[in-house]
Structure 1
Amino acid sequence: MKKTIYSLALAFLGLGASLSAEAQTRQCSTMENLAAQLAADPAMAQRMAAIENQTSSFVDNPLALRTSAVVTIPVVVHVLYNTTAQNVSDAQIQSQIAVLNEDFNKLNADVSKTPSAFAGLAANVGIQFVLAKQTPTGAATTGIERKSTTRTSWGTDDAMKKVSTGGLDAWNSAKYLNLWVCNLSGGVLGYAQFPGGAAATDGVVILSSGFGRNGSAAAPFNLGRTATHEVGHWLNLRHIWGDASCGNDLVSDTPTQQTSNGGCPSFPKVTCSNGPNGDMFMNYMDYTDDACMYMFSNGQSSRMNALFATGGARAGLLTSTGGTAPGGGGTPTTPTYCASKGTNVSYEWVDFVQLGSISRTSGANAGYYDGTALGTTVTAGSSQTISYSAGYASTAYTEYWKIYIDYNQDGDFIDSGELVASRSSASASTLTSTFTVPATAKNGKTRLRVVMSDASATTSCNSYSYGETEDYSITISGGTARQSVASAESVGYRIFPNPATDVLNIEVPASIDNKAVTVTVYDVRGAQMKQVSFDGNLLNVGTLAKGVYTLRIADGQQVTHQRFIKE
C-alpha cells in the first residue's frame, strides 16, 4: 500500500513538474556579463587576447606539457539565502561537487548515451574538485560559508560577490574556485567569469534551485549540469554555437550549429549544413536540459587544460594548498563524516553486507547502523567483491544501492572513484559488485558506506525517506602513505614525454637495480591496465585509450607514483 500511495503522489508531482518544465529553458548570462566587463575595463580585452594566444600555442603543440597530469581545484561555496530552501544543505553542496568530478573525468553514467558518431570525441578532462579545507589565511574550513540576507533576489551585476553590496567576498581567485549560490532573478540559471577578468569577481554564480542534484534542485535543471556548464565557461569554453548564427566556439571538433538547443532534441539534428551527424546538442556547453547533456569534447578538454600549462591563466591553482587541511604531516586526525539515514524502515532495509571479514546479517536498524567496529583489510590495486541484500516486510520494491569507500581519507565520498558500486534491484536475493582498490588509496583505516534507498537521487550524504545506510571500517594496505607521497620524478625517476602517445620513457636512478623495478598502470577508477608492457626503461602505452593514468613504481626500497596523460 505504501508504494501505491507513494507512486500516485509522484505521478501528480511529476505532472506538475512536467507542465512547469515545458515553459523553462536554460538561461546563462555569461556572455552578457562579459560584455559589461569589457565595457567597464578596456584592458580586459588585451588580457583575454593573450590568453587566447597561449591557448592556441598549447592546442597546436601536441607535445606541450602541463605541469600536473591531474589538476585538483579547491572550491569555496558562498551561500546567500533569504528562505530556507535557498540555504542549500551540505548534502546538496556535496552532490554538486560529485557531479563536477564525474562530468570532468568522464565518470558520469549517462556518457554512455552519447551517439556513436560523437562517442570517440567524449573527453576525460582530468580536472578534479574538492571543497576547500584551508582558508587563504591558513585556518581550517569546510569550504562553505553562509549568509542570511533580506535581499530576495540578485541580478548579474556581481553584487553577490562583495560584502560591500550585501554579498560575500571572493577568496583568492588564483588559489580557489569561488562558487556563489543564491536566488538569481529573471530566469537566469547561472553565469561565470572568463579567465582574464578582475580577481575580485572571479568565479561562478548558480541559482539555488539549479544547484546539485538533491534538496531544492528542481527539474529539468536538477542534475548539477548548470554548474558543469558554468565552470566550463570559467575554464575558457564558449557556448557551442559561438553565440552567433552558425558561430565559432573556438574548438575544432565541435560541429558548427545554428543556435542553442533546449529540452532534449532527437539525434541527429542537422543545422548549418552539419549533416549527417548534426549538432552536438548533448555537449555541456549547449542549452539542453540537465538529463540530455553528458559530454565535453577532446578539443574542449585541450582548451581547458591550456589554462594549467606553463603561462596558463589558471596555473596558480596547481600550487594551491586550499584543498589540504592546515598543519599537514604528523598523525592524521579522524575525519568526521556527513550523516546519511533513512527515515522509514517499515518496508525495506539492508539485511546483509559481506566484504572480506565483514559479514553481517541483520534486521531493520532505524535507518542507520554504525558498524565501524567491524572491518576488513584490502590491498591497494586488488580486485574485491562485495555482497549485499535487502530485507522486505512483504513486497520486494525497487531499491537503489550506492556503495562508497573514502580512499583518500578526507572525510567525504565525493572524490573520483570513491563510488565503487551503483545499481538498482527489486529482489531480496544477494547482489554482488566487483571493484578495484586504487593503487593510490591511502594506507590505514577508512570508511565503507553502504546506502540503500528507494530514491535514485540519494547520495552519500542524505536524509532520505525509505531505506537504510550502514557504515563499516576498511583498512588499506600496500597503497600510499597517509602523509603526502613524493612523486616518482622527485625521488630520481625521470619520466618523459608527458603526455605520451606510444612509449613512455622511465629512467631508473643509478642507485636502483633495473631488474628490481616493476611498473603497474591504473586508470582513474583504479583499474589495472594489464595490456601495457615494461622492458626496464620503456613502457608501451600505445594500446591505452586517451586519458589520465597513474604509474605505480616499486623497486624493493620504495613505492612511488606518477600520473601521466595518454594522447
Structure 2
Amino acid sequence: MKRLIISSLFFLVGFSAYAQRCGHGVMASPEMKKRHEILQRFIDNYNPGNSKNAREQEGIIRIPLVVHVIHNNISGDIGGEGNSNISDEQIFSQIRVLNEDFRKMFGTRGYNEHPDGADMEIEFFLAQTGPDGAPSSGINRVYSSDRTFDVFSDLERISGLSYWPSDKYLNVWVVTLAGGYLGYGEFPGGELDGLDLADSPEETDGIFIDHEVFGDRTGTASAGIYTYGRTLTHEVGHWFGLLHTWGDERCGTDYCEDTPQIQRENDSETCREIFSRCDGISRRNMIENYMDYTPDSCMNIFTEDQKARVRAVLELSPRRRRMVLNSQFLLPSTDVTEFNVLSNPGSRSELKFQVLLPDFQDFTIVSYNSLGREVARKAYLDYPSTVISAEELNLPPGMNIVTMQTAGEIYFKRIYLYE
C-alpha cells in the first residue's frame, strides 16, 4: 500500500451516479501529512529569482505527452462501442479539454470569470518525436491479454508494456481499471530530497486512467457524469503537485490560500452549492475547482495560488524540470503548416507522412497514380499535428503523387512505394 502514500486516486464505484470515492483516507495518514509538509517547505523556500531555470519557466510551458493505449482487442480494430483500443478522435478530444482547462480558454468549459481563476499557462501536445528520435504520432497501441488492471499492484506491469522516458515525456496509460477506479496520478514528492521512496520508479511516473473517462463525450467516454475529460485534468493536477482542496482530511489544507478551507470532498452527482464551517464561519466550497471530486460539468477553475505551486514544483522536481527543458527539442511547428515525407522511397510500413499544423484543423490526403487517377483518399477532421503511414492510407505500390489539403493550402509530394 506504500504507493498510495505518494500518489493520488480518483475513485468511483461502477462509474455510476451513486459514487463513493476513496484514496484520501490513506493519504490522510500521518506519514503522508509529513511528506506534504516537507514538500511545502521546499515551496516556501523557493525563490524564482534565484532559480537557474527561471528564464525557461516564464510564459507558456509546453508539455510533450505520449498516450499508451493498452487494450485487449486481439483483432487490433480501433474504436467502436466498448472497445478499449480507443480511437484517435477520442484521444484528440481529451488533449483539447486538457488545454482548454489549463489555459482557461474563453468560450470553452474551461473558462471562468472568478477573480482568482488562473490561466495556468501550460499546454500539452502529442509528442511528434519518439525516444529513438524517429517521428511519432504520440500514440502507442499495445495489446495485452489482461482484461483489467489493478491500480494497486499492476502499475509496473502496465508501464512494462509501453513506456517513454519520464524526464522527457508525460506518460499517460489508457487502460481498463478494475474495481471502479477512474485514475491515478503520480505525485512529484518522491523526486525531492527527503521525500524519496524505494517504490517510486521513473517507469511509473505518469497518469493511469480508465478509457471510459478519457475523452470528451465521445467513443467509450460517452455516458455518465465523468465523461467531459476532467479526470485527466484532475490527475495531471496531482502530477504537478496539487493536493485535493480539502487536504485529504476534515478541514485540511491544500497549501493554497485562495481555495477556501472545506470540510470534505464534494462527492455528489450534481453541481449544487456546498458550505463548510471550518473556523466557525460558514463558507461556500469552491466546488468548481478541478482538485475537488465534483462531476466533470461543474469543474472550471484552477486558482492563482495553485498556479504558483505548480510553477514552483516544475523547478523543484528534477524530473519535471528536465522535461520542461527537454520539451524545446520535441515541439512540433506551431506557426506554419508543413507536409513532410519520411523514409521515401520505402515500403508501406516504412514510408510515413508528417503533418505539422498550427492548431486542430481539418485536412484531406489524396493520392494519384502515375496516370493521374485517384487511388486513395482520406479526410482527417479536427486533427492536431500527426504522423500517418502509407499503410494506413492503403496506398498502392509504385509511383504516387500525394496531396495534403487544408482549408486554404495544398501540398504535393512524389513518393515511391516498394512492392
Quickly name the TM-score band, shorter chain normalised: 0.5 to 0.7
With over 3 angstroms needed to count, the CA separation of the structure-2 counterparts of 1:127 and 1:111, relative to structure 1, is closer
Q: Does 1:130 align with 2:125?
A: yes
For residue 121 of structure 1, report the CA deviation from its aligned partner: 0.7
Out of 212, 215, 220, the residue aligned to residue 219 of structure 2 is 215
Match of 1:72 in 2: 62
- Superposed CA deviations along residues 30-81 of structure 1, whole A, max 9, x for unmatched, are 885898xx89xxxxx87x77643332233x7789745232111110111111
With over 3 angstroms needed to count, the CA separation of the structure-2 counterparts of 1:61 and 1:193, relative to structure 1, is same
- In 1, the alpha carbon distance for the partners of 2:313 and 2:291 equals 18
- In 2, the alpha carbon distance for the partners of 1:61 and 1:100 equals 26
- Superposed CA deviations along residues 222-247 of structure 1, whole A, max 9, x for unmatched, are 11000000000000011111110111
Contact 1:29 1:190 in 2 (8 A): no
Out of 247, 250, 253, the residue aligned to residue 255 of structure 2 is 250
Q: How does 1:549-564 map to 2 (within 5 A)?
A: none
Q: Does 1:179 align with 2:172?
A: yes
Match of 2:265 in 1: 260
For residue 275 of structure 1, report the CA deviation from its aligned partner: 5.1
- In 2, the alpha carbon distance for the partners of 1:274 and 1:231 equals 33
- Superposed CA deviations along residues 75-120 of structure 1, whole A, max 9, x for unmatched, are 0111111256211111111111111111111116235566xxxx11
Out of 175, 182, 188, the residue aligned to residue 189 of structure 1 is 182
Q: Does 1:234 align with 2:239?
A: yes
Match of 1:532 in 2: none
Out of 96, 115, 118, the residue aligned to residue 98 of structure 1 is 96
Match of 2:378 in 1: none
- Superposed CA deviations along residues 211-269 of structure 1, whole A, max 9, x for unmatched, are 01111103211110000000000000111111101111121211111111022242353
Task: Supply the AA of the counterpart residue of 1:248.
Answer: T
- In 2, the alpha carbon distance for the partners of 1:335 and 1:185 equals 42
Match of 2:345 in 1: none
Match of 2:291 in 1: 285
- The 3-state SS of whatever aligns with 1:147 is strand
**RMSD value, Cα:** 3.8
TM-score w.r.t. the length of structure 2 is 0.66
With over 3 angstroms needed to count, the CA separation of the structure-2 counterparts of 1:447 and 1:208, relative to structure 1, is closer
For residue 170 of structure 1, report the CA deviation from its aligned partner: 2.5
Task: Supply the AA of the counterpart residue of 2:89.
Answer: A
Task: Supply the AA of the counterpart residue of 1:215.
Answer: G
Match of 1:405 in 2: none
Match of 2:71 in 1: 81
With over 3 angstroms needed to count, the CA separation of the structure-2 counterparts of 1:30 and 1:236, relative to structure 1, is farther
- Superposed CA deviations along residues 120-153 of structure 1, whole A, max 9, x for unmatched, are 1111111110101111221111111111222111
- The 3-state SS of whatever aligns with 1:236 is coil
Higher relative contact order (CA 8 A, sep 6+): 2
Contact 1:282 1:294 in 2 (8 A): yes
With over 3 angstroms needed to count, the CA separation of the structure-2 counterparts of 1:123 and 1:61, relative to structure 1, is same
Match of 2:109 in 1: 110
For residue 271 of structure 1, report the CA deviation from its aligned partner: 3.8
- Superposed CA deviations along residues 390-425 of structure 1, whole A, max 9, x for unmatched, are xxxxxxxxxxxxxxxxxxx724734xxx8xxxxxxx
With over 3 angstroms needed to count, the CA separation of the structure-2 counterparts of 1:112 and 1:148, relative to structure 1, is closer
Out of 408, 413, 417, the residue aligned to residue 359 of structure 2 is 413
With over 3 angstroms needed to count, the CA separation of the structure-2 counterparts of 1:277 and 1:49, relative to structure 1, is closer
Q: How many residues align?
A: 321
For residue 23 of structure 1, report the CA deviation from its aligned partner: 2.1
Contact 2:103 2:119 in 1 (8 A): yes
Q: Give ranges in structure 2 of 5+ residues lacking alignment.
A: 1-13, 74-81, 191-199, 342-354, 365-380, 385-404, 411-419
Q: How does 1:11-50 map to 2 (within 5 A)?
A: 21-25=16-20, 27=21, 29=23
TM-score w.r.t. the length of structure 1 is 0.50
Contact 1:29 1:188 in 2 (8 A): no
Q: Which has the larger radius of gyration?
A: 1
- In 2, the alpha carbon distance for the partners of 1:332 and 1:111 equals 27
